[in-house]
Structures are given as C-alpha cells and as structure tokens.
C-alpha cells in the first residue's frame, strides 16, 4: 500500500512538473466576438496541455501552475487526470521492466 501511495505521489509530482512545458491550444468559445471561430491560447503540460490561459482573469499570454491553483488560469481537470495516469503508467512500466531485468541477472 505504501508503494502505491509513493508511485501516486511521484506521478502527481511529474504531472505538476510537466506544467513547465509550454504549449498552445486552439479553443472555440461560442458567444464571443474574437474567439467564436477559434483562437490560440497559451497552455502548459505534457503529454496533454492541462493548464490553459484564462481569457477572463489571467494576464494575456501567460500561464503558471500557481495561477491555476489560485484561479487565474484554468486547469482542465480531465486532461490533468489523463496526464497523471500517463505518468503513473510510465512509473509502473519502468518498475515492471526493472523487475524483469533484475530477475534475468
């Protein structure tokens, strides 16, 4: 049980750390004059961009993890969850690979 919690914490840290990877996303916001046909916003996160520049409160063209936590930037919860699950799968895959490699030796 302790190992699962440790792997989840490391995957969470990796997902949060991936917010340092700058990205851009195309967003369509119906009902707005400047973004009804689509516009590009600054984002962050890898493999999925889960942290997106908020058009309402964030300074234009900037995105940060702290801004996401305090509500200035938008955190896309489904993309963050998938990013977390990706990093958890990577960690478990590396662990299983190392166990197999050690059992051969």
Question: HSE-up of 9 (CA within 13 Å, CB side)?
Answer: 6
> Given strand 22-27, what is the order of strands in its sheet?
22-27, 39-44, 51-52, 74-75
pLDDT in tens, the chain (105 residues): 899 999 999 999 999 999 999 999 998 877 777 777 788 889 999 999 999 998 777 677 889 999 999 989 999 999 999 999 999 999 999 999 999 999 886
Query: Can you give the pTM of this predicted structure?
Result: 0.87
Range of the domain at 87: 2-104
Question: Given its phi and psi angles, is residue 4 left (phi above 0), alpha (psi -120 to 50 degrees) or beta?
Answer: alpha
Contact 72, 58 (CB under 8 A): yes
Rg (CA), the chain: 17
Query: Apex CA 42: angle with CA 85 and CA 25, to 5°?
Result: 60
Structural domain tally of the chain?
1
């Amino acid at each position: 049980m302790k190992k699962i919690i440790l792997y989840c914490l490391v995957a969470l840290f990796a997902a949060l750390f991936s917010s340092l990877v700058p990205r851009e996303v195309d967003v369509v916001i119906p009902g707005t004059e400047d973004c009804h046909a689509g516009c590009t916003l600054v984002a962050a996160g890898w493999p999925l961009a889960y942290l997106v520049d908020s058009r309402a409160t964030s300074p234009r063209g900037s995105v940060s993890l702290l801004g996401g936590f305090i509500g200035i930037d938008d955190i896309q919860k489904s993309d963050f969850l998938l990013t977390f699950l990706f990093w958890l799968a990577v960690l478990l895959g590396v662990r299983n690979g190392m166990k197999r490699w050690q059992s051969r030796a």
